[in-house]
């Protein structure tokens, strides 16, 4: 089965958007695009090329290099997950690390970066059957998406989930650092001038602070079934 429309999923950092998107993609045979991974890949490029130092971006250098940044996704049949490729290199692991997380919201507020990534996201979604998650999918990337979700959870719960994930990967980080980083990213994401994180008027709010993944999936299945019958 494939869906004749795109699904836009927006929400705060570490609220489980990608868990929802992956489940929907796998159930309905849709293509899943994690747009946060694209901003993370550009951030990694900046870090590796000395374009970002002490949280300051050399804007003119970044703009001159934007055409040299190519981001693709490959499907890993073993993990059944999509992985991010930056200029031919699989960077899926490194872009999830704390250092990239700590710098990404600075890169994500640069207009030229957003324009480049949004254009490529819209191109990917042209044919439909795409589930995309991010911060501005329902408002800017696919303003006409038939189903829009806005996902959130309390900051403590989100930080705990992220902390557990990072610990599993062996990262040396404290809960307070993770919570601090998350709060800072929420602040950047919601208060930046360009494409801030806001709930689209026609998006359905899902607060999963006290929701099991099973209940959440059932709720979303119901929403998709309703949209399909409209
Ligand atoms: O979803 P994530 O935490 O991997 O996203 C990483 C950063 O990228 C986050 O700070 C917000 C930003 N982002 C954005 O500004 N717009 C998007 N569509 C996706 C992510």
Q: What does the pLDDT read at residue 159?
A: 96
**In residues, how long is the chain?**
230
Q: Which is nearest to 103 in space by CA: 55, 36, 157, 163?
A: 55
40: confidence class by pLDDT, cuts 50, 70, 90 = very high
Q: What does the pLDDT read at residue 154?
A: 97
Q: Which two tokens stand for residue 99?
A: 């250092």
> Is the overall model pTM greater than 0.85, yes or no?
yes
Residues paired with residue 130 on neighbouring β-strands, in sequence order: 31
Residue ranges of domains in the chain: 7-229
- pLDDT tens per residue, range 78-136: 887 889 999 999 999 999 998 998 899 899 999 999 999 999 999 999 988 999 999 99
Q: Which of 6, 9, 13, 199 to mutate to test the pocket of ligand 1 (most atoms within 8 A of CB)?
A: 13
Ligand 1 atom 5 nearest Cα: 36
CB contact burial 181-208 (16+ within 10 A = b; e otherwise):
bbeebbebbeebeebebebbeebeebeb
57: confidence class by pLDDT, cuts 50, 70, 90 = very high
Q: Is 132 helix (H, G, I), strand (E, B) or coil?
A: strand
Distance between CA atoms of 95 and 196, rounded to whole angstroms?
22
Q: Which two tokens stand for residue 109?
A: 């507020």
Are 95 and 37 in contact by the 8 Å Cβ rule? The answer is: yes
The CATH topology of domain 7-229 is: Rossmann fold (3.40.50)
Q: Is 198 helix (H, G, I), strand (E, B) or coil?
A: coil
108 touches ligand 1 (CB under 6 Å): yes
Ligand 1 atom 16 nearest Cα: 135
Distance between CA atoms of 58 and 74, rounded to whole angstroms?
30
Q: Give the β-pairing of 147-152 and 7-11.
A: parallel
Distance between CA atoms of 124 and 137, rounded to whole angstroms?
13
- pLDDT tens per residue, range 145-160: 999 999 999 999 999 9
The Cα-based distances of 125 to 120, 121, 128, 195 in angstroms read 9, 6, 5, 19
Question: 144 φ, ψ to 5°?
Answer: -100, 10
Ligand 1 atom 4 nearest Cα: 36
Mean pLDDT of 49-53: 97
């Amino acid at each position: 089965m494939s869906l004749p429309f795109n699904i836009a999923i927006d929400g705060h950092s570490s609220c489980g958007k990608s868990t929802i998107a992956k489940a929907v993609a796998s159930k309905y045979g849709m293509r899943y695009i994690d747009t946060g991974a694209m901003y993370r890949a550009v951030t990694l490029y900046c870090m590796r090329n000395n374009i970002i130092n002490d949280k300051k971006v050399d804007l003119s250098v970044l703009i001159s290099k934007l055409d040299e940044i190519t981001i693709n996704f490959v499907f890993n049949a073993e993990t059944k997950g999509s992985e991010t490729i930056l200029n031919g290199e699989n960077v899926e692991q490194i872009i999830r690390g704390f250092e990239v997380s700590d710098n990404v919201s600075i890169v994500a507020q640069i207009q030229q970066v957003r324009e480049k990534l949004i254009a490529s996201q819209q191109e990917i979604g042209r044919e439909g059957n795409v589930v995309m998650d991010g911060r501005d999918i329902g408002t800017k990337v696919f303003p006409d998406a038939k189903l829009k979700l806005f996902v959130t959870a309390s900051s403590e719960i989100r930080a705990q989930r992220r902390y557990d994930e990072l610990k599993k990967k062996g990262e040396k980080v404290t809960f307070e650092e993770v919570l601090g980083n998350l709060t800072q990213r929420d602040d950047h994401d919601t208060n930046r001038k360009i494409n801030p994180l806001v709930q689209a008027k026609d998006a359905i709010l899902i607060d999963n602070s006290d929701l099991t993944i099973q209940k959440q999936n059932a709720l979303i299945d119901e929403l998709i079934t309703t949209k399909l019958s409209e």
